[in-house]
Structure formats: structure tokens, C-alpha cells
Chains A and B, each alone.
Chain A
């Protein structure tokens, strides 16, 4: 159990340590460095981008910053013909030049012909199709009949007529329908919606946490390597120690996210950043515990931080295209800021998924706070050792296997990203192999804690239940082929068979046992997918 007093005491100790390290001199230096950094960033904003100056070349003088004249040009313009080579640079230069020439031509005809230079003018209206309510039909409209345009008389919007016929429950439409002519633009100027701003917003919530997490893991590594943790452990429990050390940094991250929320005017937005921030803290705790040195910790932390960033942010890029992207709290954060509705089930799934991983990483991190694990041994050996300390009964194996589905899910999503680039015929076999490797590794770590038949069966059942939960919530709907989602008994038999293999072969070495189980899993999956699906 976590004792508040004890946690606060450790937190106080951590703050004292921070104060000592970051005394007036260091603090001033950090503030100065931060000020220099902010000014450098601001200077880049003020001075704009000129990295593309003269990056392309043409045979003639083009009044464009990105072009220079050259004897060996990327593109050659002769009369009304533009000659390109089949290289990326030449094609890119041609596109840029064409865009420029179109602009020049446009200015010319605008000067000469005025209004007629753009005989088509456009106004874009964004509407949610499901929110359109069509009024009761009075008479059956004919397919070929084209209604008269009401907008003609006033020169106003053509939509005026439409809104009269269809009641659209969107305020925006009504405002736009009354907008003056100036809102109409030539078709070439249509701007497709850009998502960059939204991503920048999402990063604002998380970036300060990276610095907080970095200082936290540095301090933890130092305490671990100088064996201070062992001394502190004699006075307090593992959980109090970790949470106490973490508290000041977590509060700092929370405050920065809250500040961004207040700045944006959506006060609860910071809540969505919590799962990601906590995942960063928990994974850093775990990595520090299993690392032997600063060097090892630095690189492992770099890798895991990058992976978590990808895992949290990439889904947000595809937020509206792929339903699965809602698994990331960042996607939900952006939806919330935009003022769109959030489904409770999406919220629950995303938060439960992240918090399960957070809980397990903290739990294993605390178990790893042990001199036997801290120094020496290979990483896989350490994992098995941690599993031995954590999985104390067969029921614990069932629960941990059940919860570990969150990690399997995360790694398998990465696998989907990676196999995406393979040729089509290789995609399914590669995905099946990845799934086999990930699932057997996880089960292996649990089964090796005590390789008996009973433990193997409990692990297999736990893992199977976890998988079924995912299918139940339709999380893996699109990829269920790879997880044999449509079958009930087959996956259970598979998991039991491979887990038993792991238990039986554990004596002959973990490598051999895992290799055999993975091969069995992959072949089985492939056969079932090929024969039955």
C-alpha cells in the first residue's frame, strides 16, 4: 500500500536534492539557457525559412528564390515546353516552376481581363452528412428537373436555395449562406484542410514533460548507481520510494499541461495528456531499473521515448481515417479541443489500455528494484527474473497474462506499421510471424517464472481472455484475421499448446523453447488462415 506521508517525505527529499543540485548558480544558468533557447527559436520564426534558397536550377533566370541558373539545370524551359529528367529533383523542380508560371500567368490575365479571368468562383462548406435533415417530401422531385437558382438575383450564395429546401442543423452553413461574394475564391485557391496546427497543439501538452521525465530518470539512475536507493529502501517501501521521487516531476508535467489547457481555453484537455505522461514516467522507471550504467540507460531511454512518441502521436495523424486511432489519448485530446463529442467507450478503452501498461511497468519496475537484477545479466534473463519475483502464483500468472495483452497490442500495432511497407503477398505471413514472436515472448517470460504445466495453462487462458476482450470491444476488427478473431476454441488450443511447449522445453534453454513455440504458433496461424479464412 502507498502511504501518503511516506511518499511526501521522499518527495521532499527529492526536492531538497533538486535544490542542492540546482542551487542559485545552476538555476540561473538553466534560466539563461532556456532564455537563449527561446530567443533562438523566436529568431528562427522572425527570420523565416530560407533553407530551400536556390535548391533547384533552370536554364533561364526565374524570379523565384528556390531557383538559380545553371549550365547543368534540373529543368529546361524552351518556348512553351518544359523538359525534365526522370529524377526526383528534376520532377520537384518542374512542379515548383509550373506553380510559379501559373501564378505569373494568373496575375497577367487578372490585370488584362479583370473579373473574367476567373469565370468560376468557389466557396467551401463543411457539413456532417449525418446531421442533414431533409424536410418531408411534398411532391416527388424529378431526377432531371433542375431547380431555378435563387442566388442569381442578388448575386449572393447559391446555397440560399438549398438551405430553404433542406434544414441543416449546422449553424456554420447558415452563416456561410449569408456570406458576401468576397468569400468566393478561384478553384485553384481551394485550401485542403491542414492538420499541422493540431499536431503542434498536441505536442505543446507533452513536450515540457519530456524535460521533467529526463531529469527524473537521471536522478533515479544516479540514486540507483550510487546505491542510495538501497539505503532509502531500509526506511520506506518500494512503492513509496518510487512515487515519492516521481511526485515533484509529475506535478511539474501536470502543471505545464494545465497551463496549455488554460491557454487554449479548454480546461479539461490536460486530463488526456496524463496517460501519455504517466506512460513515459513508468517506462523510464522500468528502464532505469534494468539498466546497468548511464550509457545503457541513456540509449534505452532514447529508444523507448521515441517509440512512445510514435505510438501516441502517429494515430492522431490518421485520426479521422482509421477508427483504431482512437486508442491514442492524443487523438481524443485533439477531438476534445476541437469541441467534438467523445464516445465513453473510446475514452474508457484508451485510458484503460494506457493505465494497464503504466500499472504493469511501475509494478515490474518496483520488483526490479533489487540488487540481483540491477547489476549484471542479459536483459531477457532480467525479465525472467522480474517475472519470477512478480508472478508468485498460477492465478497471478493468469492475471498478468491477461493484462499483458496491452503490450502485445502495442507491439502488434507497430508490426502492422512495419509490414505495411512490404509487398502485398508478404504482408500477411510477416504479420503472422510478428504476432507469433510477440505473443510467445510475452507468454515465455511469464511461463519461465515457474515452468510447470499448470502455470502454462493458466498463462495461456489469461492471454486468451485478454485477446477475446479486445475482440469483444471490436478494437482489432480490421486486423482480426491475424489474431484468428472469428474463432473461439482454436486460439485457446493454440495458446495452451505453445505455453505447454514453453514449459516443457524451458529446461533445454529459453532460446530453444521460444524458437520452438514461435515456429509452432506461426505455422499454426498460417495454416489456419490459409485453410479456413
Chain B
């Protein structure tokens, strides 16, 4: 039986499967900072926070130094010497500000972050004058006052609640794909008949077909957890994260195996499996009780519902163990 596991794993290495996946993960980890930057830019352009780099021209009520008349301000805006024009007018003590920014998203995002900060300060100053209290709250790290970088929470949630769950799901999908391929290859090339004529029982053949993807994914999971740690992403509870991630793999590999044996051809098995995964993906990454989210939460050091995690893990491994009985490889 171990011979089949060894053969499958050896094939995987020989065929550069493992190498290509490792390269892929290293590549994704390598460009993850660029991709993260891009995605965060999409999701929350404020994160860019180019506070110091924008120039604005104020027209009307002058509350900063760079005040101009409208014509000059628009001229400066047209020539690109200022990034925004603020036209301020007073009505019963309330300042109405028209902010003219370029219609190009990235530039607008940069300059609006700055304008937002500038006008918030202006607003706070005016509140003091009108006797409206501002929120007085200072942030300290030890005895030192600190400023919280804008977007910290977005980045944190992106890494632990999107990136890590996705890595976990990808690993499980790759392992399930491997199970489907290795079963279908034996069936379609009819080598299963040869295997069945050996002293190996059908049960042992099935078990070996699901063992190799499990070994593969355990190596892969350990690898990406390590890569994240090297990228300075704190993994608070690596063992728990690893265990839940492996139970997702167990569940997916069981599904893959069952579909492969039932359909007997790779095309249908892979197609139906991918449609199911694509459909459940949104639930898997948005729900508190989703095992993939639990992997991220365990890595973040946040509490998880241990009962659900335990039930899911036991159920997944139980399904993996009984799948050779549900779909018998010798009955294809």
C-alpha cells in the first residue's frame, strides 16, 4: 500500500508538480506586497495616505496660507501646479466647501485623503470657536504618544480574514485536484485493473489514493505558514491553524475522491468539483463559523468556536476514512 503512496508522491515530484506549486506560492508570496498594495488601493484608497504630497488652492474664506482668486486657482489646477481647488463660502457660520479634484481615480484618492484631513482639522478649529466639544482621545504605546497608521484594520482583516482563508482553501483544492487526477488516471488508463489483480485490496488502493494528497497538503500548509511568518505576519496559534486547515483538506479530498470514483472521468469530476468550490467560496471566506475563516482567526489569535471546529474536523476525517467504503474503486 505504501508503495502506491510512494509512487504517487514520487510522480508528483518527478513531474515538477510540487516544484511548480512551491514556485507558484513563492511567487505569490513574493509579489504579495504588490498585490496587497493594489487590492487595498482598490478597497480603501485612504490607505495610501499621501497627506504631505498634495497641494491645494483655496478660494473664498481663507483658512490656510495658499489662497487665490478663482481664476488663478483654476489656472493652477489646469496646469497641474495644484492638485485641488477648495472654494469656501460662509452661510450663517457654516462653511460650504466645493472641492474640485481631478477626475482620475488614483490622483483623486490621493488628494481627497489630504483634503479630508485638512478640512477635518478646519472643522475641529471651528468647533472650538463655536463651543462644540471635539473628541479628546490620545493613543499611547507605553508612555509615548503614537499615531495610528490609517488603514491598519483593513490590512489586518485582509491578511487574516481573506488571504489566509484563501491560502487554506487553495491548498485543499490543489490536494483534491490531485486525488481526482490520480484516481481518474488509474481508471481511464485502465491501470486500476492491473492494480486490482495484485494482492492489494481495493480498500488499500483507495486509502493510498487519498493519503498522498494529504501528505502533499500538509507539507504545503506548513510551507505557507512559514512563508507568512517570514513575511512578518504573526501566526499566533500555528498548530490550531494547521489542524483546521488540514481538516478542510480532508473534507475536499473526500469530495474529490468520491466524485472521481463515481464519475470515472476527470473532466466531469473536475468540472463539478470546481463549480461547487466556486459557489461555496463566498460563504467560506465571509462566515464566522466557516473553517477557512477559523484558520485565519486562529492565526490572528482571535477566539474561535472550538465546538464547531472540533465537530467539523472529526466529521471531515471520518468522511475521509469512510469514503473508500462509500465509493468502491473496484466497482467502477
Contact = CB atoms under 8 A, between A and B. Distances in A.
A129 B78 contact: yes
B156 interface: yes
A211 B122 contact: no
Contacts of A294: 181, 184-185, 266
Most buried by A among B28, B95, B165, B185: B95
Contacts of A310: 31, 35
Interface string B107-123: 11100110110011011
A95 B148 contact: yes
Given A134-B74, A192-B108, A95 B152 contact: yes
Contact of A134 (B71, B116, B283): B71
Given A51-B288, A55-B300, A417-B31, 14 more contacts: A26-B268, A51-B293, A52-B157, A92-B153, A94-B148, A120-B95, A161-B87, A162-B74, A187-B116, A225-B189, A294-B266, A299-B21, A302-B174, A317-B41
Interface residues of B, number: 136
Given A33-B276, A418-B30, A321 B181 contact: no
A302 B17 CA distance: 10
A159 interface: yes
A187 B120 contact: yes
A89 B237 CA distance: 14
Interface string B280-311: 11110111101001001100111100000000
Contacts of A420: 31, 33-34
Given A44-B282, A192-B45, A314 B38 contact: yes
B140 A30 contact: no
Contacts of A123: 96-99
Given A43-B283, A87-B234, A292 B137 contact: no
Contacts of B6: none
A251 interface: no
Given A55-B297, A87-B234, A190-B116, A50 B188 contact: no
Contact of B78 (A134, A146, A152): A134
Contact of B46 (A51, A86, A192): A192
Contacts of A118: 94, 123
B24 A120 contact: no
Chain B at the A interface: SS class: helix
B122 to A, nearest CB: 6
B272 A83 contact: no
A41 B17 contact: no
A95 B120 CA distance: 17
A377 interface: no
Nearest to B283: A44
Nearest to A322: B106
B38 to A, nearest CB: 4
Interface stretch (A213-221, A254-262, A389-397): A213-221
How many A residues touch the partner, as a band? 35 or more
B161 A88 contact: no
A380 to B, nearest CB: 11
Nearest to B73: A162
A493 interface: no
A265 B287 CA distance: 34
Interface of A: 21-22, 26, 29-30, 33-34, 36-41, 43-45, 47-56, 68, 80-89, 91-96, 98-99, 101-102, 105, 109, 113, 115-130, 132, 134, 137, 141-143, 145-147, 149-152, 155, 157-159, 161-162, 165-166, 181, 184, 186-188, 190, 192-196, 199, 211, 214-215, 218-219, 221-222, 225-226, 292-296, 298-300, 302-303, 306, 310, 314, 317-321, 379, 414, 417-418, 420-421
A89 B16 contact: no
Contact of A129 (B20, B102, B189, B271): B102
Interface string B59-96: 11110000111111011011110000001111111111
Contacts of B95: 119-121
A34 B277 CA distance: 10
Given A51-B285, A152-B90, A102 B135 contact: yes
B98 A317 contact: no
